[in-house]
């Protein structure tokens, strides 16, 4: 099976979240950084939806994941002035709140002591979005 472009897939799912009001960014989302390694908050006003779609894709690919593992995946290089840079984890509050919202929407469920995994509805949403992205990409590749 051919895989869809991850960026286009994430954009497609993010627009679905925004248009259908599946999740809503909390009031503090416009002020918060996505980790200590970042200098400024995200510039994209729809970054909450994009991060939620990216987390769903990670859950689809890597199975049940907890907040700690997702923090590692969304971490980055923390520049500390004159000291050498080190790895810093991503924001746990952002990831935790997105997972809670996806759980309320019925797209994610808790697994005993293993983290969260996609429900059938979550898998179907991602697979339908991937099919739509592939349908759009297919004519471009043949010409």
Q: What is the CATH number of the domain that holds 84?
A: 1.10.10.10
The reported pTM is 0.90
Whether residue 45 lies inside any domain: the answer is yes
- Phi-psi region at 63: left, alpha or beta (left = phi > 0; alpha = psi -120 to 50): left
| Mean pLDDT of all residues in 25-50 | 94
pLDDT at 24: 94
Of the candidates 50, 63, 60, 65, which has an alpha carbon nearest to the alpha carbon of residue 3? 60
Residue 142 lies in a domain: no
Domain that holds residue 55: 6-137
How confident is the model at residue 140, as a pLDDT?
63
Residue 26 has pLDDT above 60, yes or no: yes
Alpha helices in the chain (DSSP H): 6-20, 47-62, 67-73, 92-104, 120-142
Q: Is the pLDDT of residue 37 over 80?
A: yes
Task: Yes or no: say if 69 and 96 are a contact pair by the CB < 8 Å rule.
Answer: no
Residue 65, in any domain of the structure? yes
Model pLDDT for residues 120-136, shown as the tens digit of each residue: 999 999 999 999 999 88
The residue among 1, 5, 20, 24 whose CA lies nearest residue 129 is 5
pLDDT digits (tens, 9 = 90+) for 64-116: 999 999 999 999 999 999 999 999 999 999 999 999 999 999 999 999 989 99
Residue 124 lies in a domain: yes
Cα 140–Cα 61–Cα 110 angle in degrees, nearest 5: 135
Give the total number of structural domains in the chain: 1
Residue 52 lies in a domain: yes
pLDDT at 143: 52
Task: Confirm whether 143 is domain-assigned.
Answer: no
Number of residues that make up the chain: 143
């Amino acid at each position: 099976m051919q895989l869809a472009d991850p960026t286009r897939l994430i954009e497609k799912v993010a627009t679905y979240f925004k248009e259908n009001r599946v999740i809503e960014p909390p009031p503090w989302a416009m002020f918060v950084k996505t980790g200590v390694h970042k200098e400024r908050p995200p510039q994209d006003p729809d970054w909450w939806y994009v991060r939620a779609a990216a987390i769903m894709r990670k859950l689809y690919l890597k199975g049940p994941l907890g907040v700690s593992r997702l923090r590692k995946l969304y971490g980055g290089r923390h520049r500390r002035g004159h000291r050498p840079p080190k790895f810093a984890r991503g924001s746990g509050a952002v990831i935790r709140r997105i997972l809670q919202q996806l759980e309320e929407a019925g797209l994610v469920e808790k697994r005993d002591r293993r983290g969260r995994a996609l429900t059938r509805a979550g898998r179907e949403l991602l697979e339908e979005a991937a099919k739509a992205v592939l349908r759009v990409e297919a004519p471009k590749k043949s010409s």
